[in-house]
Structure 1
Amino acid sequence: MANANHGPLGSVVPASSLREQAEEAIAAAIVSGQMPPGEVFSAPSLAARFGVSATPVREAMLNLSKRGMVDIVRNKGFRVTAVSEDEMRAIVDVRQLLEAPAVGRLAGVLSGAELGRLRGLAEEIVRGARDADLARYLQADTTFHLTLLKLAGNMRLHNIVADLRAQTRLTGLAELVATEELRASAREHLELLELLEAGDAEECERLMVRHIGHVLGWWAGHRET
Structure 2
Amino acid sequence: MPRIKPPFPAVVGLYGGPTVINNAETIATVPHVLAMGGAAYAAVGSERNGGTRLFGLSGHIARPGVYELPMGYSLRKMIYEVGGGVRGGRALKAVVPGGSSTPVLLPEEIDIGMDFDQVGKAGSMLGSGGVVVIDDQTCMVEFALRTISFYQHESCGWCIPCREGTDWLKKSLTRFHAGFGTMKDIDNIQYLAENMMGRTFCPLGDAAAMPTLGFVKKFRKEFEDHLNGTPCAFAKHVELAVV
- TM-score scaled by structure 1? 0.30
Greater share of strand: 2
Greater share of helix: 1
- TM-score scaled by structure 2? 0.29
More relative contact order in 1 or in 2 (CA 8 Å, sep 6+)? Answer: 1
